[in-house]
Structures are given as structure tokens and as C-alpha cells.
């Protein structure tokens, strides 16, 4: 049985549907990331699991119990917020122990849990300090520790790294991943940052306008996006998506500019959206004309921004410092790197190389 089950979970505000029938099973020890742009319903879904938002329809089970109508304190959850929510007048030990003391846990047990969590998070030396004496990363560890001492069935994290700088976010991602593997508990993590999702998740739930677009492992949603939205949202830089016309086994991009359609496309005809990941495109001596309009040097990699048949394109290569803005190049696209989507509804068109999503 799943540790947590969301069954047709729905949230409405009057006539406005914020979340539409989310179905999701989370196994013990699994880290699930809810990913999507602002307003997609990911935080609302998390808050329904936490009990901070009422559930308009559907059922929620935690540890096999139906907790749909229970108060947050009765759901066996622990939550980590974006703003840390530490008590400024209490010491770090006091912050870690507060929830346990409110539940009238034996003081000896409280001390044992606090000391164990502090050691796990490497904050033992901070226990006698106040939050104002801590850095952002240290405060985030304390917030994690306060959830950890609860020993809940599931940890809920709502954009916990948003207030940290880029370098610290990277380090904290590593620490959260290591922590989750050590404790072996289910974790539901909300973020709009696809890098966090790709590096942390066992599975990613991608949402848009309250609807789940795709659920899968990071590499599955990267390699086999269910639709054009997922294709453009996952990946850094994102997938190139350009309009094309499919005709007689060829993808027509412009006058005299075409690309062979993938094997297995059959006799399909008409307008499509062509998707190509920047890192899959190859600079070559022969191929499609590509004019470079901008260059971003990333150290070990170089990102070229340019035009292909009047359409903006990104091409990612290994480090190149021999090419200048304004250069005219040629590019080729391996057949296996081509993704096709229905122009009208955005759904992926299955080919012999890109298996259908079930």
C-alpha cells in the first residue's frame, strides 16, 4: 500500500477550479516533486495534503488512513515552509523542541530527538543561538530539523530553497537528497525550478493550470515529454519548439529548408510543432542554415542563439571560442533527437523513435 494516496483530489474557489482531479500514490521513501509555473496548482495541492486548504472533492490517505477531513495536527505530516517560520525569541534548541513540547512528549525523548536531528543536520554547535545569529542555509537546516524531530509519515516542503542564493541552493539540494535517503520517509516537494526537480525527484509531477500534465522519472519526462508544454518546461536551456509542416515524410521549415521526418511517422500530413533539444543539435559542414545572433559562454559548454529559417533556435555544444556573432553555420539534427507534437492540442505524436505515453 502507498504511504500517501491522492485520489481525484480537487480544489475549487467558487466557479474557479484551482486543482482538477490529481491522482497520485507516493511510496514510503519516495521523493515526489510537484513542478510547474506560478499558479499551476502545485502549492494548493501540497496545502490540501497538509490540511491547510480544504479538499473540495476526492480523498486523501496517509499511512492507510482516510485523513480527508482531519485537522493538520492529526495527519502525521511535517511541513517545511519557504520562509523558515522560526521563532525569533527562542534558541535553536527551543525551536526544534517546540512542536514536541506542545504535544507533551517526555522531556528525555524530546532531548534525544533534538540532539539526533541536530547531529544529522550538522547544527549541534548552533543549538544555543537565536535565529538572527544564523545564515540562510543554517536557518533552512533548522527548519528541516524541526520537521525531522516529528518523525512523520510524510514530509511536505513548499519551495524551501527559494530564499537562498544559487550556490547555497545547489548545496542544500544535495543535503536534502542525502537526508531523504537516510530517513527513508515519503517526501512531497514543491518547486518551480526544474533543476531542483531533475536533481531531487524519484518522480516528477508536472502541472499546468491545475491539471497534471505528466508523471514520471526525471529522465522519462526529459526524454519522452507527453506534450509541448512539458517539452518546453523541462530542460535548461529548454527544448526548441518551432512550427513546421509535415508532408510526404519531410518536415518543411521554410522555403527550400526541410528535415527528414522520423521513422515510423507513416502517412501523417499537416502542421506540427517540431521539438529539438539544444544539446542534441550538431554543428556540421553540411545541413540546415543557422545564423548566430548571440553566444553565451558557460565554461565547459557554449550556447549559441541564432536563426533557423527565421525562427529563433538554441544550440548547445562543448566549449567553442572560435565562433563569432554573425557567423553562418550549418546544423544537423539526429533522427532520434526529433520530437513532434500536434500543433492544435500540443500532444506528442508517436513515432518509431519516440514511444507513446501511456
Q: Pick from 42, 66, 69: which is nearest to 54 by CA?
A: 69
Element (H, E) at 157: strand 154-158
- pLDDT tens track for 32-58: 999 999 999 999 999 999 999 999 999
Q: Which CATH number fits domain 4-228: 3.40.50.150, 3.30.70.120, 3.40.50.300, 3.20.20.70?
A: 3.40.50.300
CATH 1.10.287.610 holds for 229-342? no
Q: What is the spatial distance between Cα 300 and Cα 287, in angstroms, rounded to a whole number?
A: 25
Report whether 57 contacts 14 (CB < 8 A).
no
Question: pLDDT tens-digit profile of 176-230?
Answer: 888 888 888 999 999 999 999 999 999 999 999 999 999 999 999 999 999 999 9
For 10-34, what is each residue's pLDDT tens digit? 999 999 999 999 999 999 999 999 9
pLDDT score recorded for residue 358: 28
Burial of 289 from C-beta contacts in 10 A (0-12 / 13-18 / 19+): middle
Residue from 211, 214, 190, 206 nearest 20 by CA: 211
How many whole angstroms separate alpha carbon 106 and alpha carbon 108? 6
| Per-10-residue mean pLDDT, the chain, length 358 | 88 95 95 95 96 96 94 91 86 92 90 91 92 89 89 91 83 86 92 93 97 97 95 92 89 84 75 94 91 95 93 94 92 90 90 44
**DSSP result, 281-306:** -EEESSSEEEEEEEEEE-SSEEEEEE
Q: Do domains 4-228 and 229-342 have the same CATH topology?
A: no
**352 contacts: CB under 8 Å, gap ≥ 6:** 262, 263, 264, 265
Q: Report how far residue 287's alpha carbon sits from residue 177's, in angstroms, rounded to the nearest whole number.
A: 43
Domain extent listing, the chain: 4-228, 229-342
pLDDT at 263: 79
Note whether 224 and 355 are within 8 A (CB): yes
How far apart, in Å, are the Cα atoms of 233 and each of 194, 204, 213, 240?
8, 12, 11, 11
DSSP 62: E
> What's the whole-model pTM score?
0.89
* CB contact at 8 A, 304 and 291: no
Amino acid at each position: 500500500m502507498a504511504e500517501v494516496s491522492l485520489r481525484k483530489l480537487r480544489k475549487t474557489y467558487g466557479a474557479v477550479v484551482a486543482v482538477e482531479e490529481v491522482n497520485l500514490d507516493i511510496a514510503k521513501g519516495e521523493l515526489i516533486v510537484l513542478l510547474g509555473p506560478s499558479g499551476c496548482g502545485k502549492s494548493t495541492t501540497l496545502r490540501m495534503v497538509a490540511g491547510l486548504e480544504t479538499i473540495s472533492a476526492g480523498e486523501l490517505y496517509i499511512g492507510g488512513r482516510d485523513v480527508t477531513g482531519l485537522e493538520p495536527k492529526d495527519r502525521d505530516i511535517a511541513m517545511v515552509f519557504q520562509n523558515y517560520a522560526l521563532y525569533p525569541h527562542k534558541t535553536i534548541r527551543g525551536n526544534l523542541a517546540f512542536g514536541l513540547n506542545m504535544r507533551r512528549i517526555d522531556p528525555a525523548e524530546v532531548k534525544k530527538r533534538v540532539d539526533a536531528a541536530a547531529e544529522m543536520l550538522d547544527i549541534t554547535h548552533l543549538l544555543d543561538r537565536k535565529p538572527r545569529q544564523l545564515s540562510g542555509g543554517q536557518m533552512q537546516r533548522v527548519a528541516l530539523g524541526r520537521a525531522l524531530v516529528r518523525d512523520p509519515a510524510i514530509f511536505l516542503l513548499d519551495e524551501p530553497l527559494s530564499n537562498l542564493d544559487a550556490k547555497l541552493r545547489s548545496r542544500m539540494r544535495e543535503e536534502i537528497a542525502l537526508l531523504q535517503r537516510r530517513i527513508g520517509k515519503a517526501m512531497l516537494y514543491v518547486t518551480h525550478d526544474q533543476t531542483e526537480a531533475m536533481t531531487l525527484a524519484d518522480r516528477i509531477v508536472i502541472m499546468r493550470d491545475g491539471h497534471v500534465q505528466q508523471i514520471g522519472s526525471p529522465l522519462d519526462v526529459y526524454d519522452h515529454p507527453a506534450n509541448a508544454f512539458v517539452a518546453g518546461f523541462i530542460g535548461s536551456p529548454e527544448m526548441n519548439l518551432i512550427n513546421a509542416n509535415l508532408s510526404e515524410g519531410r518536415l518543411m521549415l521554410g522555403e527550400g529548408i526541410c528535415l527528414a521526418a522520423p521513422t515510423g511517422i507513416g502517412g501523417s500530413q499537416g502542421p506540427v510543432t517540431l521539438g529539438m533539444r539544444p544539446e542534441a543539435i550538431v554543428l556540421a559542414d553540411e545541413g540546415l542554415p543557422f545564423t548566430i545572433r548571440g553566444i553565451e559562454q558557460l565554461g565547459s559548454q557554449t550556447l549559441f542563439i541564432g536563426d533557423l529559417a527565421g525562427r529563433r533556435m538554441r544550440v548547445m555544444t562543448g566549449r567553442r571560442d572560435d565562433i563569432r556573432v554573425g557567423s553562418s553555420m550549418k546544423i544537423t539534427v539526429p533522427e532520434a533527437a526529433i520530437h513532434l507534437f500536434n500543433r492544435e492540442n500540443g500532444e506528442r505524436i508517436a513515432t518509431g523513435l519516440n514511444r507513446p505515453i501511456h
